[in-house]
Structure 1
Amino acid sequence: MKLQRSGFVAGIALTATIALTACGSDNESGGSGSGASAAPGSCVSGALTAQGSTAQKNAMDEWIKAYQGQCADAKVDYQGTGSGAGIEAFIAGTADFAGSDSALKEEEVAQADAKCPGGKALNLPMVIGPVAVVYNVQGVDGLQLSPATLAKIFAGGITKWNDAAIAAENTGAKLPDATIETVHRSDESGTTDNFTKYLSKTAEAEWTYGNAKAWKAPGGTGAAKSDGVATKVKSTPNTISYVELSFAENSDLQMAKIKNGAGEYVELTGASAGKTFENATVKGTDGDLALELDYNTKTAGAYPIVLVTYEIACSKGSAKAKEIQSFLKYTSSTAGQTALAELGYAPLPETLRAKVEASVASIA
């Protein structure tokens, strides 16, 4: 079930047509991406320190390599410490910008804004990272799971792979009489926040633990960061977990088909992940681009478990404003986004990419 790269090429074509509804003005300019790449003349010398989301770490590594290759006097150091740690570092002033799999929480906004004299902390969506439900069960290919069954598994209500609920959704599958071992992130993670938000929105009766960056449900096994989760599932029979697509692909893990709001069991592809953004809403104003997703989407062919990784950066007041703007101009450019297609990510829809580019251009 390894995702075919052609799916992401199709996803690019699809997402280019997606329109997101903004609560604020749509009069921002900058949709073409021309001039946004880090070409000689637009480079800014200096060093940036950033940390946070492991979901976007592979994207960051690629971006940094390309950016520093074009801007010899620039240096960007990004560490995948987890979304929670990244935001904490930004608030503490030890990170120039942070990567996060979730927009700033209400309780984090004031502290983050305080680090931006004369401005505010912006949520800048930069990478669409589909979340795969990965599993390691011998002889079981094409596993299908509804939100209710998935929630029961991770809440501990279903403990055997041959449980009647799983069997009913997988007619003909040879499900073993084996105990399910669920695996979750042991560190605070925006991936956990998005995954549990999906469960709370689509299986409210079965999932009573809400959503948070820290895992709250009892039982299961914790593993640190995305690569730790992927390694644990790869090496341990009868496990199931959630991890960003790029890590699932890199470890060649089996990925389940997930039932969406239209009643379809959908395989994770670039096109199916992109379709979930057809009903996304931009909630922020004045350059802030926090998104609200419809996890119970009824769009035909939509894969519903997706996350957007953000860069948290100051609109004004950062001592590294010019350096941050230069680097993020590249990541939000057409060239920067296109580079993601080969890494297990889906590029931003063009309408959203243009808004991110315009917001980055206003950083001062």
Structure 2
Amino acid sequence: MKIARFTRIAALGAVAAFALAGCAANEAPAGNGDSSAPADGGSSLSGTISATGASSQGSAQEAWVAAFQTANGDVTVNYNPTGSGVGRENFISGAANSNFIGSDRAFNDEEIAAGGFGACVTDDIVEVPAYISPVAIAFNLDGVDTLNLDAATIAGIFSGEIDNWNDDAIASQNEGVELPDQAITPVFRSDPSGTQETFTSYLEATAPDVWTDEASDEWPLDIGEGAQGTSGVKQAISAGAGYIGFLDASQADGLGQTAVKVGDEYVPYSADAAAALVEASPLVEGRSDHDLAFEVDAAAAPDGSYPIALVSYLIACTEYEDPEVATLVKEYIGFVTSTEGQEIAAEAAGSAPLSSGLQEQISTALEAIQVG
């Protein structure tokens, strides 16, 4: 896939620690505009929209939906964290629960060219980043809370070449850590997942001599244990001594944490470090102004950045059969990607808020959704 060499977005500046004001959920959402808000400050929005998709967005979506429905008492937003692959399939098939979707990757060039998005009147779609988060490598190892690992070692573990926790490749990077003589069990996603594609993209880009498979949202190997969704991965790691897996960082609490080597240092995951990687990434070349798909290259991760960063999207139609649905989708995504919405996600899920420059681009992109 070709990428722009020189186009850069001032996408994700330094991420500050955000504190939500106690009344934030009761304020009118900072959506695409205030055309829906009557003069008395209430909301004129009403109706129901439904979505399926990325489970990585689960915690953020719960918070977004609660705040949006509080501000718009006659609106119902249903978000079912089915996983990105199911979300994209539903959007293509035109499933009734897919007025918009969440996906841990944008549609690729081949999918865009093929079209056939059954949820939409036309094949013209809007794709905007809404949730940016590190993908944590988490483990369950008695007496060990943190580990340092480089790309080749991570690839060796998940390809099965390194199958015991006291292997020299791990021990040499963790002096003073008492590693047990215990089998390693990698955990992967059993369902098609954008988080999985983000992780395998990292392996393909940074350890090609060890990880010889192409990036994919489906796990390519027969080793390890599969689990459904982000919650399933966490449950599997938590329940299995010696288990290790990858999942959205918002769900990694209580598990052992991995600092990943970038350059000469080991970088623990954080919203700031994930933002630094995405900030250095260009947009995919040849897309419309309302298709803001990033091309993230883990091999080009700058010093101090965390090299496994998830850019999760909200995907919608530019034209809907029902104008009420179009209005609600436009307003909801506008709220999610607003400063208020991003602060809510940072508080609920530890994600990296979008920069003001990227928010402006998203606001322009959302204008492509026809509401009248």
On whether the aligned pair clears a TM of 0.5, the verdict is yes
Partner of 2:63: 62
Partner of 1:280: 281
User: What is the CA deviation profile of residues 246-286 of structure 1, one whole-angstrom value per residue up to 9, with x for unaligned ones?
Assistant: 1112xx112100012x2321011222122112311122322
Q: Does 1:336 align with 2:337?
A: no
Distance in 1, matches of 2:72 and 2:217, equals 35
Residue identity in the other structure for 1:363: I
Q: Does 1:154 align with 2:163?
A: no
Distance in 2, matches of 1:141 and 1:64, equals 34
Distance in 1, matches of 2:360 and 2:321, equals 23
Residue identity in the other structure for 2:14: L
Give the number of equivalent residue pairs: 335
Asked whether the 8 Å contact 1:101–1:308 carries over to 2, the reply is yes
Report how far residue 197 of structure 1 moved: 0.7
Distance in 1, matches of 2:145 and 2:62, equals 32
Give the match's secondary structure for 1:103: coil
Distance in 1, matches of 2:345 and 2:74, equals 24
Residue identity in the other structure for 1:143: L
- Scaled by the length of structure 2, the TM-score of the pair is 0.85
* 1:117 alignment partner, one of 111, 114, 121: 121
1:64-143 equivalence runs, <5 A? 64-94=65-95, 95-109=98-112, 110-113=114-117, 115-118=119-122, 120-143=124-147
Distance in 2, matches of 1:333 and 1:36, equals 8
Asked whether the 8 Å contact 1:51–1:81 carries over to 2, the reply is yes
Partner of 1:21: none
Distance in 2, matches of 1:35 and 1:62, equals 16
1:124-203 equivalence runs, <5 A? 124-203=128-207
Asked whether the 8 Å contact 1:131–1:245 carries over to 2, the reply is yes
Distance in 1, matches of 2:158 and 2:321, equals 41
Asked whether the 8 Å contact 1:67–1:327 carries over to 2, the reply is yes
Residue identity in the other structure for 1:100: S
Shift in CA distance, 353/15, structure 1 to aligned 2, threshold 3 Å: farther
Structure 2 unaligned segments of length 5 or more: list them: 1-11, 17-28
Partner of 2:368: 362
Partner of 2:319: 316
Structure 1 unaligned segments of length 5 or more: list them: 1-11, 17-32
Report how far residue 294 of structure 1 moved: 2.4
Residue identity in the other structure for 1:104: F
Asked whether the 8 Å contact 1:40–1:71 carries over to 2, the reply is no
Give the match's secondary structure for 2:332: helix
User: What is the CA deviation profile of residues 209-266 of structure 1, one whole-angstrom value per residue up to 9, with x for unaligned ones?
Assistant: 21111111221001111011101111211110000011112xx112100012x23210
Asked whether the 8 Å contact 2:52–2:87 carries over to 1, the reply is yes
Asked whether the 8 Å contact 1:84–1:100 carries over to 2, the reply is yes
Moved more, 305-314 or 40-49: 40-49
* 1:258 alignment partner, one of 260, 272, 275: 260
Shift in CA distance, 308/154, structure 1 to aligned 2, threshold 3 Å: same
Give the match's secondary structure for 2:213: coil
Partner of 2:238: 234
User: What is the CA deviation profile of residues 169-194 of structure 1, one whole-angstrom value per residue up to 9, with x for unaligned ones?
Assistant: 11221111100011111111111011
Q: Percent identity?
A: 37
Partner of 2:247: 243
Partner of 2:3: none
Distance in 2, matches of 1:118 and 1:180, equals 48
- Scaled by the length of structure 1, the TM-score of the pair is 0.87
Asked whether the 8 Å contact 2:145–2:255 carries over to 1, the reply is no
Q: Does 1:224 align with 2:228?
A: yes
Q: Does 1:345 align with 2:345?
A: no
Residue identity in the other structure for 1:263: D
Report how far residue 119 of structure 1 moved: 5.4
Residue identity in the other structure for 2:101: A
Asked whether the 8 Å contact 1:98–1:313 carries over to 2, the reply is yes
